[in-house]
């Protein structure tokens, strides 16, 4: 766990970034789905 090489830290940062992006994308999908429901009615 104590790997502090630049490559390892960069990989961790990239994984965190992609996780954040997927979380934000899910939120956007939920919001857009709600908007679509409103327009259908």
Across the range 14-41, mean pLDDT stands at 86
Write the pLDDT tens digit of every residue in 30-40.
988 888 777 76
Q: How big is the chain by its Cα radius of gyration, in Å?
A: 17
Length of the chain in terms of residues written: 41
- For the chain, give the mean pLDDT: 84
Does the pLDDT value for residue 19 go beyond 60? yes
What is the reported pTM?
0.54
């Amino acid at each position: 766990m104590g790997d502090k090489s630049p490559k390892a830290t960069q990989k961790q940062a990239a994984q965190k970034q992609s996780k954040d992006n997927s979380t934000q994308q899910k939120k956007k999908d939920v919001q857009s789905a709600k908007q679509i429901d409103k327009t259908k009615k």
